[in-house]
Amino acid sequence: MDEREKRAYLRRLPSVEEVLRQLALKDPVSPPPRAVWVDSVRQVLERRRQRILGAGKGEELEETSGNLSEILSEVMAMASWRLRPHLRRVINATGVVLHTNLGRALLSKGALDRLLEVGGHYSNLEYDLENGSRGSRHVHVEGLLCQLTGAEAAMVVNNNAAAVLLALNTLAEGKEVIVSRGELVEIGGSFRLPDVMRKAGAQLTEVGTTNRTHLSDYEGAIRSETALLLKVHASNYRILGFTAEVSLVELAVLARRYGLPVMEDLGSGALVDLSRRGLQKEPLVMESIKAGADLVTFSGDKLLGGPQAGIAVGRREYIGRLKGNPLARAVRVDKFTLAALEATLRSYLDEDEVWEEIPALRMLALTQEELRIRAEELVAQVRERARDRLLVSWEEGYSEAGGGSLPLVEIPTIVLAVSSRFMTAEAMEERLRAHDPPVLGRVKGDRTLLDLRTVLEGELKELADALIHLASEDP
C-alpha cells in the first residue's frame, strides 16, 4: 500500500462525531456515560488509523477498515468492557474451597439478604432501641458467639490478624509472650507471628524446639516480665515424626498457677465437628474455651463460612480490655460484616441445617457420588456440542479446604479433565481465564483439570458454555 492509498483509507474513516451520532441513533437500552462513549470511539478509530499508517508496502488492508457498522460494534464492545466492574465474580474450579485469592468463603443466602437490608437502610448499628440512646456495635453478635462457643464474652474486628494484634497489644505491650518454636507460623506471606508480636509491642520468648516442646520449657521461661502464654494453630503445615506439644489444658493449668492468661490463635476455628461428615476433625472453638483458654481468636471467613472478620471470644475481663484499647477503633468491623456474620452464626443454631445453608460447609460435604452425577452430565453436554475439538472426561482427584484449615488433608473429589489437539493446556487455561465469567482451573501435564466441588450448581451451565466456546475458537 502506498501513501496515496493510505490517505484514501484514512479519509474513509468516519469522524468521532459521526460515530457518536450513529450510536445515538441505535438508541441502546442503557447507554454508558458520554465520556465512556467518546473515549471508546476515539480509541477504536485511533487503532484503525494506526493500522492503516503501519501497513507495509505490499500489504493490502481489508475493505472493511472504514466500515461503520463494524466500528459501531467494536465501540460498543469496548464501552461495555470499560464499564465492567474490576472486582467481579469468577468460577472457581480449583477445588480449593476457602481460596484466599478468590475471596475465601461464599456467604449464605441468609447473610446476603441481610447485606441488602442493612446496606440499603439505616440501622441500629450503634443505637440502643430500648433506651433511645447510643449503643454498641458489639452487641449484635456477642450473645450468639457466647452461646455457640461457651465463652463469657466476645468481640469482632476486621480480620483474625487484627484480632491477634489487638489481643497481643492489649495483654502484653512492653511485656513477654511465651510461644513454642513449633508454632511460630507464617500465614500467606504477610502474617508472621514474630512480626505481629513486634508490631503489638510485645516481646517474643521462644521455647522448646521445632519438633518438641514440653510443659517444663514453658514453665522454665516464665519470669516477672511474662504477660501471656500463647498457643498458635499450625494452620498450613504439620510437624511429623518425633514430636511433642503441650496441650491447651496443660498450658491453662500452668498459666493459672502463675496467675497468667493463656490465649489460643485458632486460625480457622470450627463451630461444628467436621468429622461428623467424614472430614478430618478441625479444632472446635468451644473445645478451646472448655480447655481453659482465656482468649481464643479465629477468622470469620475460613471454616466458619461467613464474611471476613476476626473473632475474639473468652473471659469478660480480657474481652473488656480489648474493647477499651484505642487500637480497637482502628480495626473495627463494619455494618456489612456484622449483618452477614449475625446471619451466618444464626445458621449454626441448627446443627443439621448449617450444612445446607453455609456454602463452605455444603461444598466440603459434597460426596464423590454427587459430584460424579454432575460430572457425567457436563461431559455429555460438552462432548455433544464440542465434538472432536475437545477431549473431555471425568476422573477422581483431590480438593483442599484451603484458608489454612485442614492442612494437608486431601478430600476425594471428581474433576473434569479437558485437553485439545488444537491447543496446549496452558493456552486453554489462559483462554478459560479470559472468558466471561472467568473460569479458573488447574493445569496438570497436558490437561486442564476442573474440580466440580467448588463450582456452584447455578454455574455448571456457564462452565459447559465456556468449554463449548473454547472448542469453537480458532486454534
Ligand X SMILES: *Cc1c(COP(=O)(O)O)cnc(C)c1O
Q: Binding residues for ligand X, per CB under 6 A?
A: 159-161, 164, 185, 187, 191, 232-233, 235, 265, 267-268, 299, 310, 404
Q: CB of residue 358 vs ligand X: minimum separation in angstroms?
A: 17
| Closer by beta carbon to ligand X, 208 or else 404 | 404
Cβ proximity to ligand X: between 99 and 374 the closer is: 99
Cβ at position 342, least distance to ligand X in Å:
18
205 contacts 238 by C-beta, under 8 angstroms: no
Chain mean position to CA 448: 22
C-alpha cell at 308: 471476613
Question: Smaller CB distance to ligand X: residue 322 or 452?
Answer: 322
Least distance CB 309 / ligand X (angstroms): 7
Nearest residue to ligand X on Cβ basis? 267
CA 463, CA 366: separation in Å to the nearest integer?
19
Residue 301's SS3 state is: coil
Our CB check for ligand X shows the closer of 164 and 382 to be 164
What is the tally of helices (H) and strands (E) in the chain? 19, 18
Q: Which is nearer to ligand X, 131 or 190 (CB)?
A: 190
Distance in Å, CB of 102 to ligand X, minimum: 14
- The Cα angle at residue 20 between residues 87 and 44, in degrees rounded to 5: 60
Helices 34-53 and 16-26, interaxial angle, to 10°?
130
- What Cα–Cα distance (Å) separates residue 418 from each residue in 397, 446, 451? 14, 9, 11
Distance CA 125, CA 103 (A): 25
Q: What's phi and psi for 419, nearest 5 deg?
A: -145, 170
Nearer of residues 233 and 447 to ligand X, judged by Cβ: 233
Q: Looking at the DSSP assignment, which residues form a beta bridge with residue 178? A: 205, 229
Which residue's CB is nearer to ligand X, number 235 or number 288? 235
Residue 344's region, left for phi above 0, alpha for psi from -120 to 50, else beta, is alpha
CB of 449 to ligand X, least distance (A): 26
In terms of CB distance, is 151 or 187 closer to ligand X? 187
For residue 210, the minimal CB distance to ligand X (Å) is 17
Task: Check if the beta carbon of residue 38 is closer than 8 Å to that of residue 90.
Answer: no
Q: Residue 230 forms beta bridges with which residues?
A: 263
**Pick from 179, 190, 185: which is nearest to 226 by CA?**
179
Alpha-carbon distance of 327 to 167, in angstroms, equals: 10
In the complex, the smallest distance separating the C-beta of residue 165 from ligand X, rounded to whole angstroms, is 9
User: Contact, 141 vs 338, CB < 8 A?
Assistant: yes
Nearer Cβ to ligand X (193/463): 193
Residue 310 Cβ, how far from ligand X at the closest point, in Å? 6
**Smallest distance from ligand X to CB 312, Å:** 12
Q: Which of 260, 262, 194 is nearest to 226 (CA)?
A: 260
> Nearest to residue 236, comparing CAs of 302, 288, 319, 331?
302
Which residues pair with residue 447 across a beta bridge?
Answer: 444
